Structure 1
């Protein structure tokens, strides 16, 4: 079938899909008005989307190696751009990015600048050359460049496989965590059960059809993502600015938000609440200073309270609550020091006045402002270079019919990403203004129902918590603790939209998480099956056996990732940020210098991958308190999420130095560069 006929046929299919999706939304809206329970709306959205993705997976099932790995290299540029955009707009972008902007204001724009700028690097430095190479995986490319493609390239291949697995696994855990979050909120199932429900949707698609099924599923998922993000944002835009274009309208809301922030900064009730948090922080500081005596005294106090409740024959609820308090008490003075330091920092943060949303790098003094600016630039750097080295995104360069189509595909990818990314800052401002002007100052007796819904999704670590700290019955801003991951999912309820739109947003968040998880799991399984099993272990394996091995490995990796996500290892945005630093540090120097510097050789590539990755991991472990590090160990006050700002230069410098100190690459390698850089 010619490219033009294929494009027209695909356009017709997805127009039908869009029309059916619109009818589905209208039907659910009518059913809600007739009194359909909310839980059933949630079930219908969950069921319909999973059936859709499973249907595409069944329809696109294949055992052909080229179809399974790279969708037959015949995906038209525009549709490849839509699929790549869906692959890219992960749970971090859809769910967490607006929340990050809500919490951190101007600083959160680093994610948008870094991720968008990274695609410019992909278009200029890497994607066309990968398509000219015309193989299956990123380790394939590096092995051919630094070892001629045979056994000599296996060390580089295996090193690249290791980096691909670590980066993609870190990223996919965040996506599966988001799946559990969405499923548990909108179907009422347990968080862990929600993870495995979403996993079933991922596996049916990627297991049966590989890249072929994932590509056509992701195009459908992008349509859902776009509609789900735009509808509630446009509603809030009309509500607060009488303008349906949020990208334009939120400029009119920003001055109102700034005025409200200034008012809350000096409100007497807010000052009272912040003073209470300051006192709590001081109390924790005093307990830390008095260790280990304070830990021993606290443990005795907890035991005495339990004994007292038992002696006066308190209720079973009181006894159980006191027992839980004793069980949760730190088991040692060292653990107490760590936990009390975390509580001190949390209370100190809530004791601070609201930061101006639109002010760049606010700080108590010039030094603090400089630190925030440096972290902003470091994060942009890491996200840009990490984007240009992400295996599951670069794999998309192999799926188009030609090098020219790859370049056009990157343009369409940027276009489709920007449709959402230009809306995210607007959503953050509109939701923030809505909460600051409507929730703050309301009565605790009349709290909206969405707060209790989200507070009960995860009772151990509530996504939103509001407590009457100063006992006046009125909600103060400082009394609200909200997790950034909840903001977009709760936007329809915050704005007063019908519950159908809440289900739509959940379907959009689910589509974002599933589309990225599909691509990541396929990148891991393909690296293991193609680059390890086929290229190293059994080069004589049949095509059927290779695809079967890839499917089995995909199953194994998916269940391991689901288990890791069920342990709730961290917030979505921090996990994704870590993946970008790791990708940039380990793979970017070898990829870019492999294309543009003929003198780069195998020894340099191996040393560069190892050193960049090692520096990045060391810095994360050394400076992240969650991983056992300490903030005091930071270099130049750079946050651990931006560890790649040290890992990338280290990898680049070591690759260059070792390449210059060792024998020049074989002529076969230099001819490889001439081939991929030659014009079509």
Structure 2
């Protein structure tokens, strides 16, 4: 059966499953819309959390970054997994014990302040919308390729799909849809990895194949990859290329940003008991590890396959380059999306793919008549989806990967949109500005606000500020600088008052936004950067994606300064904090 037919079968079948679940699990109350009625089993919640967590950045972009940046990209593995452990141990059980629906609701009640709640909503929306942009990029990439439409049309189709099952089912529908999506995405990620590992190294386990010898000549796979990329002027794959300080700050920003992400935190509000929150966190870590331990092998093998596909002869020689007119079908397929572009700069009809920024190799290439790197665009987000095609795997495997990529992007987008809509309808309208609205009206506004969030995310997704993982890293920095500190202080500091919490959140997120805008500009308006976004120009070598750590330090510092200058915490709030930290009881949700 041809690839297009199989793709429509796999993708269409998975979508039919998602839509069916959404109709079956339609939310009929705010409790079901916000927290799935608090009746989700820990194992099921762990699986849903894993799907919510493993976004397009994890499925599509992380391996792509590993493929092109090598060792440096390990910061994503360390930061995201370490952060999830931090969340499971330090925040999730206590927030579930508090028994509320949303993160801003906890902030508002803990800091006895409507202002604190509104500021928390603002921080949540800024971080979540930035995160959604990364998911939208993944949706556009996946839909564009496998429905054979433009990136823009793929993005539109994907957003309409998310709108259907997220708006209809709320947290209840999203939870059970994400369970199905996890099953699809983990199969789609691991099955082709097994095939490719067998082809390259003879090992069925990609985690072992990464360090095994290649089948072709018995060279260790990573040694082979280093040789291939260095022969074309690229940096050694396994070497540390970024600054150590930036790497530490970047990793820590991802860690604490993970622990402050509202769409992950609210997943722990859906289980019946505090003990179940801990159990579901453990199960989620197991489910996440299945993909995260496979990602380094997928990235390395994808890079090797790509280099071998374009360099069909001796690596680094003029005669070794692929003739453009003889390019394989996968190349043509991705060219049609606009995410892979070739420009014949010297008119010889061959594809010169090398690092023309490497002065030594560029001089050698000039002697051969090369005019520069002719692969003018290789979008890193295509690597996981293109890898099975490049490796010439069976069509059903390629179709499975398409379904998995879409499942990953859709699952996290739905969770983020739900967090945004809950904050707007429950925390801004019901709890702040329109407390007299009925439950039915609140549910209506939750759905309306979700549709609005989808429109905004789709608009920004047309002009993302970078690859999916880079965009997501900015969101993690925003969460790290604003939400994580206030949650930590709210749980573990009985003395932190409302003035300190509000001042800290504002200082953290404003400083981080200013740093991002200075180096990356307002990404929806081109040409607004104030400073050149190069490592040499970054403050102390800290990139915008890593600045969340600095923002968090600013948040904590400002919060404690303002705390000392203002009225102390009421005794009943101190007692409430003490009660939260006692790990027993479930706490009952309060609809107010």
1:57 counterpart = 2:57: no
8 A Cα contact 2:203 2:212, kept in partner:
no
| Cross-structure match for 1:522 | 418
1:55-95 deviation digits (Å, cap 9, x = unpaired) = 11100012212111101111111110100000010000000
| Cross-structure match for 1:193 | 153
Q: Distance in 1 between matches of 2:224 and 2:25?
A: 54
Matches within 5 A, 1:126-145: 126-145=91-110
1:667 counterpart = 2:544: no
Task: State TM-score, norm by structure 1.
Answer: 0.77
8 A Cα contact 1:622 1:633, kept in partner:
no
1:211-246 deviation digits (Å, cap 9, x = unpaired) = 000000000000001000011110011001111111
Matches within 5 A, 1:360-379: 361-362=240-241, 372-379=243-250
1:468-522 deviation digits (Å, cap 9, x = unpaired) = 6584846544444522101001011011112222221111010001000100111
Q: Distance in 2 between matches of 1:217 and 1:427?
A: 26
SS at match of 1:215: helix
1:577-622 deviation digits (Å, cap 9, x = unpaired) = 1000000101111110111111100000000000001111111122
8 A Cα contact 1:441 1:474, kept in partner:
no
Q: Post-superposition, which runs of at least 4 consecutive aligned residues in structure 1 deviate over 6 A?
A: none
1:396 counterpart = 2:356: no
Match of 1:630 among 531, 542, 547: 531
Give, in angstroms, the shift of residue 43 of structure 1: 2.8
Q: Distance in 1 between matches of 2:396 and 2:402?
A: 10
Match of 1:448 among 324, 328, 331: 328
Q: Distance in 1 between matches of 2:305 and 2:144?
A: 26
Give, in angstroms, the shift of residue 142 of structure 1: 0.5
| Cross-structure match for 2:492 | 596
Give, in angstroms, the shift of residue 417 of structure 1: 0.5
1:87 counterpart = 2:52: yes
Cα gap change, 1:174 to 1:474, in 2 (>3 Å): closer
Match of 2:193 among 224, 227, 233: 233
Task: State TM-score, norm by structure 2.
Answer: 0.88
Q: Distance in 2 between matches of 1:219 and 1:403?
A: 21
SS at match of 1:559: helix
Matches within 5 A, 1:251-650: 251-253=211-213, 255-259=220-224, 261-262=226-227, 265=230, 270=232, 353-359=233-239, 361-362=240-241, 372-442=243-313, 443-444=322-323, 445-458=325-338, 462-465=339-342, 467=344, 469=346, 471=348, 473=350, 475-478=352-355, 479=373, 480=375, 481-624=377-520, 627-631=528-532, 633-650=537-554
Q: Distance in 1 between matches of 2:309 and 2:144?
A: 27
1:159-210 deviation digits (Å, cap 9, x = unpaired) = 0000111111111122122212211111122332222221222122111111
8 A Cα contact 1:95 1:485, kept in partner:
yes
Q: Distance in 1 between matches of 2:22 and 2:225?
A: 50
8 A Cα contact 1:228 1:504, kept in partner:
yes
1:404-431 deviation digits (Å, cap 9, x = unpaired) = 1100111111111110000000111122
8 A Cα contact 1:589 1:655, kept in partner:
no
Q: Distance in 1 between matches of 2:33 and 2:388?
A: 38
Q: Distance in 1 between matches of 2:351 and 2:257?
A: 45
1:454-477 deviation digits (Å, cap 9, x = unpaired) = 12202xxx4353646584846544
| Residue segments in structure 1 that go unaligned for 5+ positions in a row | 1-31, 148-152, 271-352, 363-370
Aligned length, in residue pairs:
543
Give, in angstroms, the shift of residue 260 of structure 1: 5.1
1:175 counterpart = 2:46: no
| Greater helix share, structure number | 1
**Which range is displaced more, 138-147 or 63-72?**
63-72
Q: Distance in 1 between matches of 2:171 and 2:446?
A: 12
8 A Cα contact 1:258 1:356, kept in partner:
no
Cα gap change, 1:656 to 1:456, in 2 (>3 Å): same
| Residue segments in structure 2 that go unaligned for 5+ positions in a row | 214-218, 314-321, 356-372, 585-592
| Cross-structure match for 1:209 | 169
8 A Cα contact 1:440 1:477, kept in partner:
no
In terms of Rg, which structure is larger?
Answer: 1
